[in-house]
Chains A and B, each alone.
Chain A
Amino acid sequence: AQSVTQLGSHVSVSEGALVLLRCNYSSSVPPYLFWYVQYPNQGLQLLLKYTTGATLVKGINGFEAEFKKSETSFHLTKPSAHMSDAAEYFCAVSHTGGGNKLTFGTGTQLKVEL
């Protein structure tokens, strides 16, 4: 079984400030981890993914995430927030043998203020 916990359903930052969105996972086998972003009334866009190899992964729009097995975490960061980053962010996990099924966290709404 696998699960994802996203701490903080709402996060608010100032423009230019660091963005940190938290994600912890539970998986009995090595996980594949993903971050997706969703803008209002739209589908999900892949930000970045971790499958194997380097634990620090870089994605689009300046986002990056680090896979920390010891902490079972995959937190999403961006050094400097932009107004256009305001959206809903979902962390998701899947694994080999799981039929590529994604299990999503409950999402974090990011608000960026002037």
Chain B
Amino acid sequence: GAVVSQHPSRVICKSGTSVKIECRSLDFQATTMFWYRQFPKQSLMLMATSNEGSKATYEQGVEKDKFLINHASLTLSTLTVTSAHPEDSSFYICSARDPGQGKTQYFGPGTRLLVL
């Protein structure tokens, strides 16, 4: 299947700082990428849909000023957690939709964020 990468895989930061997470589709161009958050032993919760060249669409309850999403190219979307706090600590996973594979989303390996 298609390959999606994320960087970094793990990050520890101090409260109040901002953290940027990158999501790349390595072997296809993705006009649409998705960002999810997963708490321990729970399912994935969709945070936002990232559309290349336009503003992201956020799910209800997700603060768009807190979680900044940029999809500047067909292979890269970034999620910036601004002024991170301990409650933002979580596992963040991105996915990308391969247009050549219809409705299938391919997932990145995830980023573990720990805010101290």
Given contacts A43-B110, A44-B107, 18 further A-B contacts (CB under 8 A): A34-B104, A42-B109, A43-B107, A43-B108, A43-B109, A44-B44, A45-B1, A45-B107, A49-B103, A49-B104, A90-B43, A94-B103, A99-B57, A100-B97, A102-B34, A102-B46, A102-B95, A102-B105
Mind listing 22 A-B residue pairs with CB under 8 Å? A34-B104, A41-B112, A42-B109, A43-B109, A44-B93, A46-B1, A51-B102, A90-B43, A94-B103, A96-B103, A99-B49, A99-B57, A100-B105, A101-B34, A101-B46, A101-B49, A102-B44, A102-B46, A102-B105, A104-B44, A105-B43, A107-B42
Interface residue? B67 (CB, 8 A): no
CB atoms of A100 and B32 under 8 A apart: yes
Chain A interface residue count, CB cutoff 8 Å, equals 22
Q: Is the interface of B mostly helix, strand, loop or mixed?
A: strand
Question: Hey, which bits of chain B sit against chain A, CB under 8 A?
Answer: 1, 4, 6, 32, 34, 42-44, 46, 49, 57, 91, 93, 95, 97, 102-110, 112
Q: How far is the CA of A32 from the CA of B62 in the complex (A)?
A: 26
**8 nearest A-B residue pairs (beta carbon):** A43-B107, A44-B107, A43-B109, A104-B43, A43-B110, A32-B103, A106-B43, A104-B44
CA distance A106 to B91 in the complex (A): 16
Which chain A residues have a beta carbon within 8 Å of chain B's beta carbons?
A: 32, 34, 36, 41-46, 49, 51, 90, 94, 96, 99-102, 104-107
| B44 x A90 contact (CB < 8 A) | yes
Which residues of the other chain, A, contact B46 by a CB distance below 8 angstroms? 101-102
| Cα A111 to Cα B44 with chains together (Å) | 20
List of A residues within 8 angstroms of B104 by Cβ: 34, 46, 49
